[in-house]
Structure 1
Amino acid sequence: MNGLVDKRIAVAGGATGIGAETAHRLAAAGATVAIGDVNLERAKETVKDIESNGGRATAIQFDLSDDDSVNSFIKQSAEFMGGVDGLFNVGAEMTPSVFENDLTVLDTDMDVWKRVLDVNLFGYARTTKAVIPYMLEAGSGAIVNTSSGAAFFGLPNRVAYSASKGGVNTLTRHVATVWGKQGIRCNSVSPGMVMGETQKRMGHTAVHKEVLSLIRHTRLGEPADIAAAVTFLLSSDGEWVNGQCWNVDGGLNLRD
């Protein structure tokens, strides 16, 4: 991948899964990476793996739902890396007690709504607000947000999650529109069913088979599939892509 050597990229939610895979890929391409996550121990393990392969990274504990914590994460990232050129927002509220109670609009408690939006949408707004001044100072920057096909499908459940991801796409287009002329790009990726740690742990084999029957591909996704797209969008190879919401889902969701 061209244009990642010496780039300084913060990964908000990089301890495991897609975030960790992307951090590895960015570091392998020559970027310095700041890995933020609520799970500091797993973030440290990811950093250790990156460093063992000759990369440069640091782990920072933070919480997407807390203003001060987010601001501290971006500030510490900038101090470690000497600035911030890129941000990958990938963290999400996936706690079983929340996720499993995100149902229809009639059945979903407002506390679930508040928690999901506070992490999945407001959290991304917090990191974006914190990082843009550093990018303006540098004269350029790239942000990639993690959305979901749920933003487009009209699912019968997961109403708060779907709404949060629709909001992420709106935030993405807003940032591209307001700061694109100042060298800041912002795009989102919408993964399909990716067989990361969470999906494997949940063990919904029947659901996996159903999705596989629907997609226009021979397999379900892997974290590396999403990492490849994100790395491209953060690199100079993706310099002319701005304000886009990409589906990376094996052809599950076809749309113009």
Structure 2
Amino acid sequence: MRGLNGKIGVVAGGGRGIGAATAMRLADEGALVVVGDINEEWAKDSAAAITKKGGKAIGVYLDGTSADSQKAIVAAALAEFGGLDFFHSNLAGGTEGDVDALNCPEDVFDRSVAINLKSHLLATQAALPAMLEHGGGGAMIYTSSGAASAGAAWQVAYPMTKNGIHALARHVAAKWGKDGIRANVICPGLIMTEAVAQHLSEAQVNDMRQRTPSPRLGKPDDIAGAVAFLASDDGIFINGQVWHVNGGTQMRD
């Protein structure tokens, strides 16, 4: 992939699953990676796996809902590697108790907003000044979800907040595109991470396999490849877009 070698970036939520696979793929392409996670040990393990393969990475604590923590991870990238070229904001959670619109408690909704939406705004506020300062632009890449457009009957807060990420990315693209800033969104479908596999029965997995047009279910590496492309110079003319990476479970323009 063109233009990733020597680029400096942050992968937020990079301790496990999609984030860890993405951090590894970016490092394999020659990027210098700061892995952040609310579980600092996971972040350090992810970074250690990269360095064991000969890549360059550090792992740090990140609470995505804290402006100071978001600023700190950007500062870590500047201090360790000397710049910031991309930021993969890959944070999600807080779905417990999130049911339909008549039964979603206010505290559940607020927690979902904090984790699934505010965190991405805080990441943007921390990362953009560093990207703009060196004058070379940069890439914000946000993880959303197919839930944003699926019309799920069983939850309300999570899809609402994920939709907000799309508006954020388009705002960033429209406002700072002339300065070389690109902002795009990845909407994963069902990706068989460690966490997902623990919560699905064999029957549910088989059902999803039957309903997916592709011959297999999604893997973290599928998302990692899309993120790497958007972070690279090959993705330089892609801005303000929402990419669905789901094996065809949702087919959208």
| Alignment TM-score, normalising by the size of structure 1 | 0.96
Q: Spell out, residue by residue over 1:19-38, the C-alpha distance to the aligned partner (whole angstroms, 9 max, x if none).
A: 00010011111110000110
Map of 1:80-159 to 2, 5 A cutoff?
80-93=80-93, 98-139=94-135, 140-159=137-156
- What is residue 197 of structure 1 aligned with on the other side? 194
Give, in angstroms, the shift of residue 100 of structure 1.
3.2
* C-alpha distance in 2 between matches for 1:76 and 1:51: 17
- What is residue 22 of structure 1 aligned with on the other side? 22
Do the aligned residues in 1 keep the contact of 2:67 with 2:126 (CA within 8 Å)? no
Question: Gaps spanning 5+ residues in structure 2: where?
Answer: none
Q: 1:229 aligns with which of 215, 226, 229?
A: 226
* C-alpha distance in 2 between matches for 1:158 and 1:86: 32
Give, in angstroms, the shift of residue 137 of structure 1.
1.3
Do the aligned residues in 2 keep the contact of 1:85 with 1:138 (CA within 8 Å)? no
Aligned-CA RMSD value: 1.0
* C-alpha distance in 1 between matches for 2:151 and 2:232: 32
Give, in angstroms, the shift of residue 114 of structure 1.
0.5
Give, in angstroms, the shift of residue 171 of structure 1.
0.6
* C-alpha distance in 2 between matches for 1:179 and 1:87: 15
Map of 1:60-79 to 2, 5 A cutoff?
60-79=60-79
Map of 1:1-20 to 2, 5 A cutoff?
1-20=1-20
SS of the residue 2:252 aligns to? coil
Give, in angstroms, the shift of residue 207 of structure 1.
2.7
Is 2:183 the partner of 1:186? Answer: yes
* C-alpha distance in 2 between matches for 1:78 and 1:196: 30
Matched to 1:135, the amino acid is M
Give, in angstroms, the shift of residue 213 of structure 1.
2.1
Give, in angstroms, the shift of residue 99 of structure 1.
2.0
**Structure 1, 198-207 or 21-30: larger mean CA deviation:** 198-207
* C-alpha distance in 2 between matches for 1:25 and 1:216: 26
Give, in angstroms, the shift of residue 10 of structure 1.
0.5
Matched to 1:231, the amino acid is A
- What is residue 59 of structure 1 aligned with on the other side? 59
SS of the residue 1:69 aligns to? helix
SS of the residue 1:87 aligns to? strand
Residue correspondences, number:
252
SS of the residue 1:33 aligns to? strand
| Alignment TM-score, normalising by the size of structure 2 | 0.97
SS of the residue 1:148 aligns to? coil
Q: Taking every aligned residue pair, what percent have the same amino acid on both sides?
A: 42
Do the aligned residues in 1 keep the contact of 2:84 with 2:131 (CA within 8 Å)? yes
Q: Spell out, residue by residue over 1:187-231, the C-alpha distance to the aligned partner (whole angstroms, 9 max, x if none).
A: 001001000011111133333222222221111100000000000
